[in-house]
Every structure is written in structure tokens, then in C-alpha cells.
Structure 1
Amino acid sequence: MAGGWASDGAVQEQIDSSIEDAIQRARSQLPTGESLSHCAECEAPIPEARRVAIRGVRLCVSCQAQLDQQQSVSAGYNRRGSKDSQLR
């Protein structure tokens, strides 16, 4: 049931759009091409099993973990604003 100016299903459309954006962002960050034998950041050797499992890998496990941690801190930005800001 919609209220005010919102159409039926508007909330679900926002949820679906947010999920699609997150999927596109994740896919764009996937490595492609040939895997490196040594880490692009610290020059540590990348194990063969990791190179085979992840196509196009560029970072060792520890450097990848640091990058993932940095990205998770900045993730979660809601470009549509909070519900409160939409009501104002």
C-alpha cells in the first residue's frame, strides 16, 4: 500500500535498485586476465592454489585482506538518503 506521492512497490524498487548497484560494484572489482606470481603491493609470492582458484589475482592474501577491510569501512553509503530525510 502506497502513501502520499509514492507508488505501490516504491520501497521494493529502492531495495532492488540498491541490490543491483551492489552486485554491479562487486562484479566490477573482480580481477580479470592472467594471475600474477607475486603480489602487486608487497612482492610476496602468491601461492599456486590461489592463482588457480582466483583468475586474475593481483594481491597476496594479507594485502587482499587489508584492501577488503578498507573497502568495508567506506561501504554502506545510502545515496537515496534516509527515510527521515525523504519525509522532510
Structure 2
Amino acid sequence: MADDVDFADERIEKELASALSARIVYSGVSALECECGEEISEGRRLAVPGVRDCITFAEHSALRLRGVRRG
């Protein structure tokens, strides 16, 4: 018989699977410059092959997707 813990575990597994399937997977050649005009650091280009955004632009984009508004 399923209890609250089982239901919570199922929900966590579904949310994790959804988050993993929605993540951006980069591949290919990394850009040298972000669309915001900033240079993409060598460390970021090596760590995330195929990256197109600098870390600052990527963080702001992620916040916008989550509905966070900044002044």
C-alpha cells in the first residue's frame, strides 16, 4: 500500500526527469563572443563544448525563463 512518502518519491522522480529533459545540451564548436557582446571565457568554452552565451547572459536568461524580473 502506497503512503505519502511513496507519493512524494514519485513526484520527485517525475520533476527530476522533467528538469533533466528540459536542460540545454550544447555540442559543437563554442562561440568566442556572446550575443550580448562579452567574450566567453576559455574556461567556460572548455567546460561546456558548444556554449553560445557568457555566464552572466546565461544566468540572466535562466532567471527570465523562471519569471524573475529585475529592474
The structural deviation recorded for 1:36 is: 0.3
Aligned-partner residue type, residue 62 of structure 1:
T
Counterpart in 1 of 2:31? 36
Alignment of 1:1-88 (within 5 A): 1-2=1-2, 11=7, 12-26=9-23, 29-39=24-34, 41-73=35-67
Identical positions, percent: 29
Deviations along 1:12-71, whole A, 9 cap, x unmatched? 434322221121112xx12221100111x2122112121111111101122111112112
**Structure 2: gaps (5+ residues):** none
- Which stretch shifts more, 11-20 or 53-62? 11-20
Please report the RMSD computed on the Cα atoms of aligned residues, expressed in angstroms: 2.2
Q: TM-score, normalised by structure 1?
A: 0.58
Q: Which structure has the greater CA radius of gyration? A: 1
Find the residue that maps to 1:73 and give its secondary structure.
coil
Q: TM-score, normalised by structure 2?
A: 0.68
Q: Which runs of 4+ in 1 moved over 6 A?
A: none
